[in-house]
Amino acid sequence: MSRPGNTIRLGLLCWIGSLALVLAKGPTPPPPRHHGYHKMMSLIMNNAMDGIMRAQEEWSPDDKQNIWELSGLDEGDIMTDSEETSRNAVREAESKWPGGVVPYHISDEFDDEEQQVIKGAMEEFHENSCIQFRPYKEGDSSWVAIKNDSPGCWSYVGRRGGGQVVNLGNRCVQHGVAAHELLHALGFHHQQSTHNRDKYVKIHWKNIRRGTERNFKRYPSSRVQDFNVPYDYESVMHYSSHAFSKNGKPTITPKEEGAFIGQRSRMSDKDLQKLKLMYGCESSTGGGITTENPDYDDHYRNDNFWSFHFSVQVSVILIWISVQVSVILIWISVQVAVILVYISFQVSVILIWISVQVSIILVRISVQVSVILILISVQVSVILIWISVQVSVILI
């Protein structure tokens, strides 16, 4: 049987653990403004959703297509709020994340292992560029909501404001796929959409599935920015050779002999080079931040200040809780000890009283038995004397 003190301690520890977990996870953002529900409803109404889900369920890592090419959206995995222009690295300043800082919130629908995959993709950005993904905080006006409540792997291109979904549905939680979709959110489009792509790849229009030809559209240099970085066959943003194929034959092939397209493992060196040029990182070959990025100092230092401030507040709260809990536990222990001493004293008094009463009863019984035995002895003696007298009279 458990003691009351242990039960109280367990309850307090559970409460503290729950509070610490809530503090560690941080606040939950409001519903994102850019969620893609309208597009999902359109796919359902057009009876396209079943085919998308079936194609993704049947996909395997050995397939010649990338899984994000099967999401049924513009260019496969680009979510739009309306008819929007696609581009490799979007030019509008408002599409960039100020200071390269991207607040994010990962849905609880992902298990621990899946969350580690997503955070591992973010870490690749941290280690190789000035991009900083950090948890959402109250007051953030823009953030990425990483969810898996819709089929497919998809993202908006560039910062939209008010929260925007990066969806990693079934089979999409892979390092390379997560990096691909996060690059979209940072402002990048697919490599083969650049204005000069026909110098480097050949599009096989006859092999492309009807209705998806627009996914191979290229854009003029006035609407696409490649930062003068050479065409990148190894880009994680490049279509696979069999993207949107209707007959199992290639739809896009490199003109450079031996080149491979469609890798889905990680960002290429040129992906990172363009990313750092876009966000004004220190150089095109290394990580870090440069003072050439005017947005960085205010945003990054502000983020660091609030992160430090939040950490200090959490530490103070946890210390205060620990002190209060310790005081409560000491008080409970003292009260329990007093109660146990009192109970022991009362039990001892009761046992002594019972012993005395039993002794008195036993003495009384002994006296009564002795009196009875004496009376019996006297009666027997009288009877024996009478018998002796009678026998003597008869004999005389």
Binding residues for Zn(2+): 180, 184, 190
The partner residues of 154 in beta bridges, in order of sequence, read 167
With H, G, I as helix, E, B as strand and everything else as coil, classify residue 161: coil
Binding-site entries = 180, 184, 190
Query: How many C-beta atoms surround the C-beta of residue 119 within 10 A?
Result: 15
Q: Which two structure tokens, joined as six digits, stand for 38? A: 């309208």
Cα maximum dimension of the chain: 165
Q: Which two structure tokens, joined as six digits, stand for 144? A: 């990425």
Query: How many C-beta atoms surround the C-beta of residue 222 within 10 A?
Result: 9
Strand pairing of 132-135 and 144-147? Answer: unpaired
With H, G, I as helix, E, B as strand and everything else as coil, classify residue 165: strand
User: Pick the catalytic residue: 124, 181, 256, 282?
Assistant: 181
Q: CA 211, CA 366: separation in Å to the nearest integer?
A: 114
What's the number of CA atoms in the CB half-sphere (13 Å) around residue 380? 6
> For the purposes of burial, counting CB atoms within 10 Å of the CB of 343, is it exposed (0-12), middle (13-18) or buried (19 or more)?
exposed
Query: How many C-beta atoms surround the C-beta of residue 286 within 10 A?
Result: 12
Contact between 36 and 56 (Cβ < 8 Å): no
Annotated catalytic residue 127: no
Residues classed as catalytic: 181
